[in-house]
Amino acid sequence: MDPETSCVSTEGRRVLGHFLDADGRLHTIPTRRAKRLVVLDHLAQRFDLGRTYLEREVVEILSAVHPDHAALRRYLVEEQFLTREDSVYWRSGGTVVV
């Protein structure tokens, strides 16, 4: 099993299956908040705990998943998966995979 999804609930895996293609790219950003939170938590796993990221790095990571990196970045910050201060970001939420 993929370590990124091993701690995801059955419902969470189902939600991810509806929104991610076989390559792990997001084909649609969920409009329902509950489903969007599952996707955002999954995306937060792409950011290392304790590391800071420049905005261009965040854009690069999110662009690899979906063309609307700005919306994803905004959602990640609004839902407190990432924190932003002076164009520097760090992971501040989401499931911690051990």
Query: What pTM was estimated for this model as a whole?
Result: 0.88
Examine the pLDDT at 6 and tell me if it is beyond 60.
no
pLDDT at 71: 98
Examine the pLDDT at 15 and tell me if it is beyond 60.
yes
CATH architecture for the domain at 10-91: Orthogonal Bundle (1.10)
Q: What is the mean pLDDT of residues 85-95?
A: 95
How far is the C-alpha of 28 from the C-alpha of 26, rounded, in Å?
A: 6
Write down how long the chain is: 98
- Name the 3-class secondary structure at 48: coil
Strands of 1-98 (E only): list them: 52-54, 82-85, 88-91
Please list, in sequence order, all residues whose beta carbon lies within 8 angstroms of the beta carbon of residue 88, skipping any fewer than 6 positions away. Answer: 52, 53, 54, 55
Please list, in sequence order, all residues whose beta carbon lies within 8 angstroms of the beta carbon of residue 35, skipping any fewer than 6 positions away. Answer: 15, 18, 19
Give pLDDT tens digits for 20-74.
999 999 999 999 999 999 999 999 999 999 999 999 999 999 999 999 999 999 9
